[in-house]
Amino acid sequence: MANKINRLVDAYRQLQQQSENCVLATIIETFGSTYQKAGARMLITSVGELVGLLGGGCFERDLVEQAGSVFKTGAAKSVFYDMRSPDDVIWGLGLGCNGAVKVLLQLLKADEDFSPLNLISDAADDNLAGIVITVYESEHADFPAGQSIFLAASTFDHSSLLTSVPFPFTTSALQAVLQQKPRTETHVIGDQEIKAFYDPLQPPLHLLIAGAGTDAIPLLQSAKLLGWRVTIVDQRPGHIKRERFPQVDRLLNLTPEEMSQQLELNQFSALVLMTHNIEYDARYLKAIVNSRIPFIGLLGPSHRKDRLLQSLGDEEAQKIINRVFGPIGLDIGAENPEEIALSIMAGIHAELNGRTGQQLGIKASPESHAYIHR
């Protein structure tokens, strides 16, 4: 999900307040079952503090040790953790995760503005997609291990991308952009081998909440915990108080009509209407009817959703009817505001990822339990 950019941007802004180098750990390849997949990143400070998580705590301690040589030499390095065999105890890890990961460690220098984090942050601020190309092994002096190139969406037009990407990365960059999947490639110039990791990045996930009532507070907290950006709008001045929403990215006192004029609505990944006033909700819904927001969630029963859609008229309702969910959220038995917020965010994530939200595994039967203990 795109929210991994938000965490990187937050980390970069914290790094800007200090002058010490750090090490960026990036999963570049995975095999089997792993806690995180290719493209996941974690920062390691000079004193061994971690920002993010790659292995669920499985191999982070060893990564900190491995990062020590990167701090000393400045040279990038790759490390490989194979947990597919019971013999993984030889690492002193004893993980039993039945997977393997390759992790690249590269030094981010304060005097170079922690590149490429600075470029990723700029693209996120401009709500642009992009791709990070990172050399992780190389025999070629012009393309050393640890070198990163970031390409913003403005170069995604094929003709300009061909001239923007240094040889030999052109074809692989185009393929990664089109497929939107991380990949590793081996290139050869003469007899010198270059291995590169291609990681497409999407703009940060951004939630728009219309309605600044009390139940918007846990929804904001839940979204921020997941790394989303959040904008809250409400036309009632008394509800728009920063002390009630200290984590919010933007808190705006706007009527629905002002919102449609002053906000770039297509930047949002999801909208939740929660004014608790059907006339307000109808006006906000009308204000976003021509937007491309992929998820529009409504509080209340299904007949309330039907009434709101009918208020738009048939022609306007058809523009958004396939994107409107009401009641919003997954059926988890939610009752209090915190549980409802969890249900809402889970439902949004499931829809944006094309999932149903069902259990990943089935309950173990008494028979299977007995078999395990034979």
**Domain CATH code at residue 318:** 3.40.50.720
In a domain, 303, yes or no: yes
> Which segments in the chain show pLDDT lower than 70?
1-4, 85-97, 153-165, 362-374
Instruction: Show which of 156, 185, 203 is a domain's final residue.
Output: 203
Residue 86 per-residue DSSP state: G
Sheet holding 270-273, edge to edge: 250-253, 229-234, 206-210, 270-273, 296-298, 324-325
Same-domain status, 320 and 185: no
**pLDDT on residue 173:** 83
Tokens of 303: 């007949």
Same-domain status, 181 and 213: no
In a domain, 362, yes or no: no
Same-domain status, 253 and 194: no
Stated pTM of the model: 0.79
What is the Cα–Cα distance from 51 to 270, expressed in whole angstroms? 27
**pLDDT on residue 154:** 65
What is the Cα–Cα distance from 161 to 215, expressed in whole angstroms? 45
What is the Cα–Cα distance from 43 to 55, expressed in whole angstroms? 13
**pLDDT on residue 170:** 81
**pLDDT on residue 338:** 96
Instruction: Show which of 86, 112, 138 is a domain's final residue.
Output: 112
In a domain, 1, yes or no: no
Same-domain status, 220 and 347: yes
Same-domain status, 228 and 293: yes
Tokens of 93: 């890890």
Q: Which domain holds residue 323?
A: 206-352
Same-domain status, 223 and 98: no
In a domain, 242, yes or no: yes
**pLDDT on residue 284:** 95
Same-domain status, 299 and 212: yes
**pLDDT on residue 110:** 93
Please state the domain count of the chain: 3
Same-domain status, 27 and 105: yes
**pLDDT on residue 85:** 62
**pLDDT on residue 1:** 44
Same-domain status, 151 and 179: yes
Query: Under a CB-based contact definition with an 8 Å cutoff, are residues 240 and 199 in contact?
Result: no
**pLDDT on residue 36:** 84
